[in-house]
Amino acid sequence: MPIKDSELILNPDGSIYHLNLRPEHLADTVITVGDPDRVSSVTQHFDSIEFQTQKREFHTQTGLYKGKRITVISTGIGTDNIDIVFNELDALANINFETREVKDTLKSLNIIRIGTSGSIQENIPVDAFLISEYAAGFDSLLHFYDSEHVQHNEIANALIEQTNWFASKSKPYIVTCNEYLLKQFSSSKTVTGFTATNVGFYGPQGRILRLAIQDDAMNDKLANFNYNGMSITNLEMETAGIYGLSRLLGHKALSMNAIIANRATGEFSNDPKATVNNLITYTLNKLIEE
């Protein structure tokens, strides 16, 4: 059955609704970044760029890095955008836009996030590179999909119990990275972590400017959470959604985080741009080691 015009929305030029991309613009390896300006920070290292476009916060460039074809795309901030970007990337790869039908043979993309994040563990310093092995989603995105089979409920229940999680906020879900990518991108330069993704930057990450928050001790409880020796290492806004949707859609995903703040010590990186650029170079070089 063809997917209806209202569900799979294509622009007059045949590109997908928000990303403005046609299937031929997408490489099998995708780097996602939050900031639209970070796309060029990645592709400045490329041999060549064959295509670029921008619509809203979704800036895309596809090109070659040392002969490998890579698409770099910005997602903007938050798992609401991750829902759009990952569904549309998958549609570009796995739906025939002429017939509007899902292809018989499905493609599995390799998707690497290069993002920024704040550590909540004193011993994970600013300027570290953290790879998220596990992610806890405090956003509700994954619950809108038939997704129980990709969630680790035992860990979620332990998290809810140990942090006395306020149910009105959300029901946390736990998802994991692709284990092959984890091996490929890990080295003595990286730390492996358990990333919590939340729906905001201030209250939802325990920051207080003028508004009181529901639980002042939230970050301490997350940092002290212990499941078989694992605790929450860092906070950001996309990784859990990326891992959940990638699992459901059959793509391989890994989230690389430049730790630019340490929330436990109150420090902020002296040069966050340099740290992000170092992570970009590290990630690109690991990508061609495949």
- The site for ligand R1P (CB under 6 A) is made up of 33-35, 77, 115-116, 201, 236-238
d(CA 290, CA 286): 7
When the beta carbons of 89 and 237 are compared against ligand R1P, the nearer one is 237
When the beta carbons of 127 and 238 are compared against ligand R1P, the nearer one is 238
d(CA 237, CA 89): 19
Name the E strands within the chain.
Answer: 29-33, 48-55, 58-65, 68-74, 95-96, 101-102, 110-119, 129-137, 173-176, 190-197, 234-236, 252-262, 267-268
Q: How far is the CB of 95 from ligand R1P (least distance, A)?
A: 27
d(CA 75, CA 168): 27
Q: Which residue is nearest to ligand R1P (CB)?
A: 34
Q: How far is the CB of 116 from ligand R1P (least distance, A)?
A: 3
When the beta carbons of 95 and 276 are compared against ligand R1P, the nearer one is 276
Of 43, 42, 30, the C-alpha closest to 108 is: 30
Longest dimension (CA), the chain: 56
- Record the tokens describing residue 2, joined without a space: 């063809």
Residue 16 DSSP label: B
When the beta carbons of 202 and 226 are compared against ligand R1P, the nearer one is 202
First to last CA, the chain: 38
When the beta carbons of 93 and 280 are compared against ligand R1P, the nearer one is 280
Q: How far is the CB of 212 from ligand R1P (least distance, A)?
A: 22
Residue 271 DSSP label: -
Q: How far is the CB of 196 from ligand R1P (least distance, A)?
A: 11
When the beta carbons of 33 and 253 are compared against ligand R1P, the nearer one is 33
Q: CB of 245 within 8 A of CB of 87? A: yes
Of 281, 289, 288, the C-alpha closest to 129 is: 281
Q: How far is the CB of 45 from ligand R1P (least distance, A)?
A: 18
When the beta carbons of 10 and 213 are compared against ligand R1P, the nearer one is 213
Q: How far is the CB of 53 from ligand R1P (least distance, A)?
A: 20
Q: How far is the CB of 24 from ligand R1P (least distance, A)?
A: 27
